[in-house]
Chain A
């Protein structure tokens, strides 16, 4: 089957580091996306990983382990504006790869 698991909610403190995990099950692999979505707004693209390892983009980094079916999004130096939902997403290998498989999202609350 195809599914994604990520925690429903997380809480962290301003200035801290938080890691949002995502595990997935898929036959074949076409890479994995992370999107950020603030309440009432559209999702915005954060990262795409297709090879194992860590990719860093400023305060945000994304990690992938294909053998473990595991990814995480690492947010450093948290700011209040990072309070949002973080969605783990992948294009399926079988069928039409435009029918993205979306996780339910992790709602992150950053407290002062």
Chain B
């Protein structure tokens, strides 16, 4: 069982829809991440929150909007996505420190039609 929970597991949305991906962890981790992963590629960093503040935005298009309501929750709001945004979206958390491993959720498989 994963300690990072992501919902939904699958999402199909049209290009005009607005949807949100949700992530929750109760390990007391203060760093939370959104990654995007395409088939046969490594995860690609999108955003990092540290102590509930956005610390890294990897030049992600504004149609992706992250939110960290509290230390346990992380959301990714989606609006006006393109078909090329279809991918596996992974949430992760970690303790502070570069030597702390990432704990990933099972991901949301997103398809944009």
Contacts and interface: CB of A to CB of B under 8 A. Distances in A.
Which of A33, A91, A102 gathers most chain B CB within 10 Å? Answer: A102
Interface in A20-71: 30-31, 33, 35, 40-45, 48, 50
Contacts of B58: 99
Contacts of A102: 42-43
Interface residues of A, number: 24
- Per DSSP, chain A at the interface is loop
Interface residues of B, number: 25
Contacts, number: 55
A111 interface: no
A98 interface: yes
B81 interface: no
Interface of A: 30-31, 33, 35, 40-45, 48, 50, 87, 91, 96-100, 102-105, 107
Interface of B: 2, 31, 33, 40-43, 45, 48, 50, 55-56, 58, 88, 90, 98-99, 101-107, 109
Given A42-B106, A96-B48, A104-B42, 7 more contacts: A30-B98, A33-B101, A87-B42, A97-B98, A98-B48, A99-B45, A99-B48
